Structure 1
Amino acid sequence: MERPRHFEDYALGEKRTTSGRTITETDIVVHAGHTGDFFPHHMDAEAMKASQWGQRIAHGTMTFAIGIGLTASEINPLSFTYGYERLRFPKPVFIGDTVHTELTIAALEDDPKRADHGRVIEQVRVLNQRGETVLACDHVYLVKKRA
């Protein structure tokens, strides 16, 4: 859905939550093929039985791609992603976990490079079905100011 919002339309503390998505073995296999990351943590079920997790874990980059992808339900033609900061994976994601993403507007700043844009910093948390944070980062995007 296209919803034009200027920088001034955002409010500190504003929140939104996405729908959930269950992680499958196919997700892991396809991601490994796309990235070339066939590390045993993701691909070797037998070796991972003896690990601290007892099973394969999803790629962090896949968790990021899926977690951020879930947020793409809201499109603002007046903004674009500037980047992501402080990316962390505090807990592993396993096959069969269902993740969703929670977003909170954490800061609103002037953009030092573009007087006609502001920076919206959105705190991103991807959580599993147990409410545990499996990914944390800040999404920084630039939003056009009103003239």
Structure 2
Amino acid sequence: MSETQIAQDQPQPALRPGDSFRTAGRTITEADVVNFACLSGDFNRLHVDAEYAAGTNFGQRIAHGLLVLSVLSGLTTQSSGYRALEPWILALLDVSCRFPKPTFIGDTVHVQVTVAERTPSSRPGRSIVVFRREAVNQRGEVVVQADFKMMVRDEVPA
């Protein structure tokens, strides 16, 4: 199935499996990692100790997976593709994620959002849509893959 771009000018997005949009990019900085460590209290040496991280399989510090997941969420909600969907979105029901590759300080990620599935809800006029959000770095590697299960309206009231 070919991908259809979800556009802001659509009167109502179809939200069919394969529909997608891409966000702008954002570079993960050292300040992001330090601030996230302070905010979360996660001072794991792999994130904050350059000498320690140099001796690991990664060879350098890596960004917190939850930091990159947070950036993925922010890039998505700031995008025109997501803003086109906002009137239909009712609730976030579940998030599942995995971290297939590390994100290094200095990597730039964008998010590819694709409708993975859509099923009718037990509530009339509602559907359950799984949006697969993938943070992709400048090398084309997926560094975070997260499935956001959301309840959406089938129609937006006038």
TM-score, normalization by structure 1? 0.89
> Are 2:136 and 1:127 aligned?
yes
Alignment of 1:53-64 (within 5 A): 53-64=58-69
Alignment of 1:82-97 (within 5 A): 82-85=93-96, 87-97=97-107
> For residues 5 and 28 of structure 1, do their structure 2 counterparts lie closer, same or farther at Cα, with a shift above 3 Å needed?
farther
Please state how far the C-alpha of 1:31 moved relative to its aligned partner. 0.5
Structure 2 residue aligned with 1:137 = 146
Question: Once the two structures are superposed, what CA deviation does each residue of 1:61-97 show, in whole Å capped at 9, x if it has no partner?
Answer: 0010001211112231231322212x10010000000
Which of 41, 44, 47 is matched with 1:42 structurally? Answer: 47
Deviation above 3 Å: which 4+ runs of structure 1? 2-6
Percentage of pairs with the same residue: 38
Please state how far the C-alpha of 1:103 moved relative to its aligned partner. 1.1
| Structure 2: unaligned runs, 5 residues or longer | 1-7
Question: Once the two structures are superposed, what CA deviation does each residue of 1:5-25 show, in whole Å capped at 9, x if it has no partner?
Answer: 76x732221110111100100
How many Å separate the matches in 2 of 1:5 and 1:44? 50
Structure 2 residue aligned with 1:69 = 74
Specify the SS of the correspondent of 1:139. Answer: strand
Contact 1:117–1:142 (8 Å) recurs in 2: yes
> Are 2:81 and 1:81 aligned?
no
Code of the residue aligned with 1:19 in structure 2: it is: A
Superposed CA RMSD? 2.0
Code of the residue aligned with 2:88 in structure 1: it is: L
How many Å separate the matches in 1 of 2:109 and 2:142? 9
Contact 1:19–1:101 (8 Å) recurs in 2: yes
Structure 1 residue aligned with 2:119 = 109
Please state how far the C-alpha of 1:3 moved relative to its aligned partner. 7.8
| Structure 1: unaligned runs, 5 residues or longer | none
How many Å separate the matches in 1 of 2:94 and 2:39? 22
